[in-house]
Chains A and B, each alone.
Chain A
Amino acid sequence: MSEPSPSMAAEVPRDPREASADTSAPAIHTVTARETGWTAAIRDRLEHRLPLRELLPTRQPSYVGSWVYVFGVVTIAALVWVVLSGTVLALMGSAWWHISSLGRFFNSLHFWSVQMFFIFMVLHLWGMYWGAGWRDGRAKTWMVGVVIFLVSIVTAFTGYLVQQNFDSQWIAVNAKDAINSTGLGGFFNVLNFGQMYGLHVMLFPIGVTLLVVLHIVQVRGRGVVRPIGDPYRPEPRSGETEA
């Protein structure tokens, strides 16, 4: 590369101090004034929509001190313990917890953290419903939350199917009729342990976790909705339209 490319020629120093340095040497820490391309577009969009100061703020509206906001964070905490205890169970094999007291303890951690996860999630859902958390442009946040709730139910259901005990046998033979009635029984075969195990320890947990991350980013990106009856009325700025 003997000559600087046109884009490099347009580079400007990131740090003003660099401008006073030896200008004959090539700048190392530089950014382009106007970069184009997919990567730059995505980066710029993320920086604009999800600045770190908004994602991890150190101040919040005073009403966030309400108890109703606790349920969201404890739901996340329960999910963390669900995933960690489930990871140990998966590492040791599907039959471990039946023959080991330590395995039984980890299964108990998994079992109770799932119960906690659902209790907290339902309380969070009710809290967000009665607070109308979808207001002021937050409908997508609500919808992703509902999808998390529904996918979590299916994830837990597959967990009950792979316990390898009487409960999983009975749930499987009962649930098959409902799944079969939709025509999906041949593709989502609840009697097939291998299929349900793969879904439960891999695909569904990844799905739930990614959705939760998206949900958190949505919440942090827009901030917490103002209480019902608060005076704020967003008005379009110049150039903004209401469809």
Chain B
Amino acid sequence: MRRHPTIDRRRYYDGVRTIPYDLVKELAIALGAVLVIVVALSAVLSSPDVPSATIRSWATADPLDFVTTAANELAGQSTVAQYGPPYNDQSGSVQGLGPIVPQQWLGVHVTVDPPNDFVLQPLSQATVGDDQLATALTSYRAASSDQQQKWLSAYIDALGNASISAGQVVTAPGSYGPVPVLMDRMLRLGRSGGLDALLLTSDHFYQTDYSKALLFMDDGGYLSGLATDQKLTGSQWGMMNETGRYPGQAWLWLYTFWYQIPPYSTASNADLLVVLTMAVLSLALLLVPFIPGLRDLPRWVPIHRLMWRSHYQEMRRRQAAGSSGSPAATPSQVPSARRA
């Protein structure tokens, strides 16, 4: 690589006419102008703020989806239960590219055990004064793993034909063991808002980690339904959109773009492919000064003639006037993109 020699500024600007220029004044004017624009937009358009979804609103709006999700969590069949790192040691959502599997390499760091974290633990904390729930929990825990799965499998199948009556999920009679009681209490807990809090509890008083609550909600269909209404899903260019009619993260357009076209749109490892693609493109942008072709494009496409039109006109005038003594005025130094 050719290293550029140290350049003396005075020599560098030989032949260039200078003008008085107040940088600080320019910045002050820019600050004022941008403030006017921003205040006007804020006053007229405000900013988006669609209230957050809660487990309470989910359990109230769509009890069947809520109960189905809870039952799948308890059975260990939900998306997050099968996810893999960083939540658990499964492999359902692990992405790799050939032998490159960084998700596996870096392992589990945010441990999530859906049957216990999302269902059994919250229910255990809600047994006070509820003997029927305490008995159901004891019965469930005493049963073998096979028995638990039989109850849950039958119950989840029955939910496919369940109905809602007076806000309750009604299934056909079957051999579900204590599962209907557990799910009934989960629904009550969800509707009361208690589950929103219980999924945040930890050994510490203070809590700011919403991982479990969000992962539980993400396993249901409620959150994605709201997102579809707001045109925020992946197939709707969701990552760069914002709720309502506000501009979102438009700067993510290229990142979002890849998800819309094959092979990314159909690949099981689409996320990793997109991230790697963007990493390569970002590196290319960083190294533009050193990449032949990319660094030459500005000389080939004469957009610079628009940018510096006045300067080029001035140099032509000086050349036409035949002024001498200045490097900019010699015929061999006529401004031309090709000579750059």
Contact = CB atoms under 8 A, between A and B. Distances in A.
Interface string B234-275: 100011001100111111100000000000000001011011
A87 B34 CA distance: 18
Interface string A206-243: 00000000000000001100111111101111001111
Given A178-B274, A180-B103, A231-B333, A242 B3 contact: yes
B22 to A, nearest CB: 7
A58 B21 contact: yes
Contacts of A134: 288-289, 295
Interface stretch (A4-12, A13-21, A23-31, A77-85): A77-85
A223 B13 contact: yes
A185 B215 CA distance: 13
Interface string B203-223: 000001111001101100001
A142 B12 CA distance: 19
Contacts of B309: 66
Contacts, number: 334
Q: Say whether chain A's binding surface is mostly helix, strand, loop, or mixed.
A: helix
B210 A191 contact: yes
B337 interface: yes
Of A171, A173, A181, most buried by chain B (CB within 10 Å of CB) is A181
Contacts of A182: 102-103, 272, 275
Which bracket fits the contact residues of B? Answer: 35 or more
30 contacts: A58-B21, A64-B19, A65-B19, A66-B308, A66-B310, A74-B30, A78-B34, A111-B42, A130-B301, A130-B304, A135-B340, A166-B52, A169-B52, A170-B230, A174-B238, A177-B271, A181-B103, A181-B269, A186-B107, A187-B106, A191-B210, A192-B110, A222-B7, A222-B9, A229-B304, A230-B335, A230-B340, A234-B7, A235-B5, A242-B4
Contacts of B272: 178, 181-182
B109 A132 contact: no
Interface of B: 1-9, 11-24, 26-27, 30-31, 33-35, 37-39, 41-43, 45-53, 85-86, 93, 95, 102-110, 208-211, 214-215, 217-218, 223, 226-227, 230, 232, 234, 238-239, 242-243, 246-252, 269, 271-272, 274-275, 282, 285-290, 295, 298-299, 301, 303-304, 307-312, 314-315, 327-328, 330, 332-333, 335-340
A45 interface: no
